[in-house]
Amino acid sequence: MDIAKLLGYIGGMAEVKIAELRNHVSRYVRRAERGETVVIVNRSRPVAALGPYAPARRPGRRLLGLLKGTAKIQGDIVHASIPTRHWFRS
């Protein structure tokens, strides 16, 4: 018995064999567009998943402003107050 099915990770998803996917790819792409995840199996073993596209999340424009006021500049900002060899931990 497949441990993933036993634990329920794949049980709720549609499974499709590679040959079936090859013959009806547009059908499965439409299912993915609707938000469904289709597990592609090769000889009853899950090898890939086809699901809805989720673009990488880009931080909002306000990200730079989130830290405003959280840092304090002390001393001379042109010349280092400690030797550069102490800037990083070894």
Highest mean pLDDT among 4-13, 26-35, 76-85: 26-35
27-52 average pLDDT score: 93
Classify 54 as helix, strand or coil: coil
8 Å CB contact between 33 and 43: no
Find, among 43, 64, 49, 42, the residue nearest to 10 by Cα. Answer: 49
8 Å CB contact between 31 and 14: yes
Distance CA 1, CA 4 (A): 9
DSSP 57: P
pLDDT tens per residue, range 4-28 = 544 445 456 789 999 999 999 999 9
CATH topology for 3-50 is: YefM-like fold (3.40.1620)
pLDDT of 73 above 90:
no
List, in sequence order, every residue forming a beta bridge with 38; answer none if it has no partner.
14, 50
The letter for the amino acid at 60 is G
Per-domain boundaries in the chain? 3-50
